[in-house]
């Protein structure tokens, strides 16, 4: 029989499993594949939790430790020399059990009063953008509320902070309009769908409730 001293052994449905703990940053998405980053494997639960707590989380992620098991009989039959927990995980078939530890989600800061832009890609990812909406961040709205993977799809809305409240709170309505147009057309070098759905002064004024009356243009 192999030396199994580094493992914790548990029995599930009359089968003995040697446990390995995976610590990682996790973000659920409304897709078949949640975001998983900074993964490492450990024999000891306390070391896995210690590492998980140390992960610098991106917005919307939380640290988690998952319990995984390798059948003891498989390990005993193995003739190869394995050392690290990751080597065991990569070598054997692995059963994934419940999470054994979860930390708090990094929700980021409040975006109440920030100017939020909503857009989507036209035709294909990286091509022209469609302007969908511009608004102020709502009460109790956080950075994590804007997190999505829609920037990897076409015709799917993406919301992001265009200008923080601190940059516009002292501006007049006319200056806000100018600052927004600068971000939309100059600072970020975005390509807009000018056949339809491009940002216009009137859309910005309506979306942000600015007290500006545009001069009527003559045909």
Kindly state whether residue 213 falls inside one of the protein's structural domains. Answer: no
Kindly state whether residue 145 falls inside one of the protein's structural domains. Answer: yes
Kindly state whether residue 217 falls inside one of the protein's structural domains. Answer: no
Q: Is 152 in the same domain as 86?
A: no
Q: Is 38 in the same domain as 123?
A: no
Q: What does the pLDDT read at residue 32?
A: 62
Instruction: State how far the Cα of 169 lies from the Cα of 122, in Å rounded to an integer.
Output: 32
- Domain end call among 73, 102, 131: 102
Q: Which domain holds residue 69?
A: 9-102
Contact 8, 20 (CB under 8 A): no
Q: Is 131 in the same domain as 204?
A: yes
Kindly state whether residue 18 falls inside one of the protein's structural domains. Answer: yes
Q: What is the average pLDDT score of the chain?
A: 92
Q: What does the pLDDT read at residue 218?
A: 56
Q: Is 121 in the same domain as 158?
A: yes
Strand partners, 155: none
- Please state the domain count of the chain: 2
Helix ranges, the chain (H): 45-54, 72-77, 85-91, 165-168, 173-182, 201-208
Query: 30, 193, 57: which is closest to 123 by C-alpha?
Result: 193
Q: Is 86 in the same domain as 121?
A: no
Helix (H) or strand (E) holding 87: helix 85-91
pTM of the predicted model as reported, rounded to 2 decimal places: 0.80
Kindly state whether residue 173 falls inside one of the protein's structural domains. Answer: yes
Using a pLDDT cut of 70, give the percent of the chain over it.
96
Q: Is 74 in the same domain as 24?
A: yes
Model confidence pLDDT, tens digit, residues 77-114: 998 989 999 999 999 999 999 999 999 999 999 999 99
- Domain end call among 102, 127, 147: 102
Model confidence pLDDT, tens digit, residues 159-191: 999 999 999 999 999 999 999 999 999 888 889
Residue 215 predicted with pLDDT over 90: no
Q: Is 123 in the same domain as 98?
A: no
- Domain end call among 59, 81, 102: 102
Instruction: State how far the Cα of 22 lies from the Cα of 70, in Å rounded to an integer.
Output: 13
In the structure, what pLDDT confidence band is assigned to residue 25 with cuts at 50, 70 and 90?
Answer: very high
Token output for 95:
């059963």
Kindly state whether residue 120 falls inside one of the protein's structural domains. Answer: yes
């Amino acid at each position: 029989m192999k030396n199994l001293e580094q493992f914790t052994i548990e029995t599930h449905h009359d089968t003995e499993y040697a446990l390995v703990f995976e610590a990682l940053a996790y973000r659920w998405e409304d897709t078949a594949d949640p975001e998983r980053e900074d993964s490492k494997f450990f024999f000891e639960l306390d070391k896995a939790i210690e590492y998980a707590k140390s992960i610098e989380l991106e917005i919307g992620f939380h640290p988690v430790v998952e319990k995984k098991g390798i059948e003891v009989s498989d390990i005993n039959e193995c003739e190869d020399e394995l050392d690290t927990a990751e080597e065991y995980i990569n070598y054997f078939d692995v059963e994934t059990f419940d999470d054994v530890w979860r930390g708090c989600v990094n929700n980021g800061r409040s975006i109440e009063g920030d100017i939020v832009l909503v857009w989507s890609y036209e035709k294909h990812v990286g091509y022209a953008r469609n302007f969908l909406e511009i608004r102020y961040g709502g009460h109790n709205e956080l950075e994590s509320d804007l997190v999505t993977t829609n920037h990897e799809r076409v015709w799917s809305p993406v919301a992001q902070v265009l200008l923080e409240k601190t940059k516009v709170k002292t501006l007049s309505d006319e200056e806000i309009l100018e600052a927004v147009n600068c971000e939309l057309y100059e600072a970020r070098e975005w390509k807009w769908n000018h056949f339809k759905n491009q940002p216009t002064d009137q859309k910005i004024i309506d979306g942000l409730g600015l007290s500006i009356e545009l001069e009527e243009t003559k045909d």
